[in-house]
Amino acid sequence: MLWKAIAAETLGSSDDLRLLDTTPVPCGQSIQTTRTSELAPWAGFGYCPAHSRRYWGFKLVLLCAPDGTIVDFDLVAANTPEREAALALLQANEIAGTIVISDKGIAGVDFEAAAAELGTLLLRPSRKDEPDRPNPPIGWIRQRIESIVDTLKDQLLLEHHGGRTPAGLITRIAARILALCAAINLNQRLGHTGRSLTAYCH
């Protein structure tokens, strides 16, 4: 795939730190849409705690490098358990020897044990019900993945994809992933920092 070839040439591709997160991809708001859309057999109803909202559609699972490069992604129904979707993406990638930083929502002894079997160290914030669990100082890097998601949403209009069929939805999401990776690649070649798309949005 073109986006993977471009992503493989960024500085982040060789980084041993990976950021793991999920974000909603709404696909409709009306009851009629949820019943008649060509996406209906694959979509589901989900809940986004970050924005306290329910939605119908899919969940985008992202595995990123710190520079914003999308290493891999998956699209699952919105009601797919977050840990299940995250683990499937990790298992699909060579992550032995890496450190994976995730949100506290991707928690659980079984999940952490499965990640350890893959040869990666999983770090995440502790939850309120885990007073005895170490709370690593990773807030600053957690902000990085949130910023990457914001770039996809605000500059690349992820939630306004316009996809109406499975093939169309995947194509439109892949195009946004490609655009982000291409911008990061070009910025690095030009000696620019960050993943700003401003110069390419006119």
First to last CA, the chain: 26
Q: How far apart are CA 76 and CA 27, in angstroms?
A: 12
Residue 174 in any domain: the answer is: yes
Residue 86 in any domain: the answer is: yes
Q: How far apart are CA 18 and CA 25, in angstroms?
A: 22
Q: What is the reported pLDDT for 109?
A: 81
CATH number where 74 lies:
3.30.420.10
87-146 per-position pLDDT tens digit: 999 999 999 999 999 887 787 788 889 999 999 998 887 777 666 676 677 777 778 888
Q: What is the reported pLDDT for 141?
A: 77
- In this predicted structure, the answer to whether residue 10 has a pLDDT above a threshold of 90 is yes
153 CB-near residues (< 8 Å, 6+ apart)? 23, 159
Residue 132 in any domain: the answer is: yes
Residue tagged 């040869």 (tokens): 119
Both tokens of residue 9? 């040439």
Residue 80 in any domain: the answer is: yes
- In this predicted structure, the answer to whether residue 202 has a pLDDT above a threshold of 60 is no
Q: What is the reported pLDDT for 179?
A: 93
Residue 193 in any domain: the answer is: no
Minimal CA–CA distance to 55: which of 66, 73, 63, 43? 43
What's the alpha-carbon Rg for the chain, to the nearest Å?
17
**pTM of the predicted model as reported, rounded to 2 decimal places:** 0.90
Residue 24 in any domain: the answer is: yes
pLDDT average, residue stretch 166-170: 95
Counting the structural domains of the chain, the total is 1
34-82 per-position pLDDT tens digit: 888 999 999 999 998 877 889 999 999 999 999 999 999 999 999 999 9
Q: What is the reported pLDDT for 130?
A: 65
- Structural domain range at position 57: 2-188
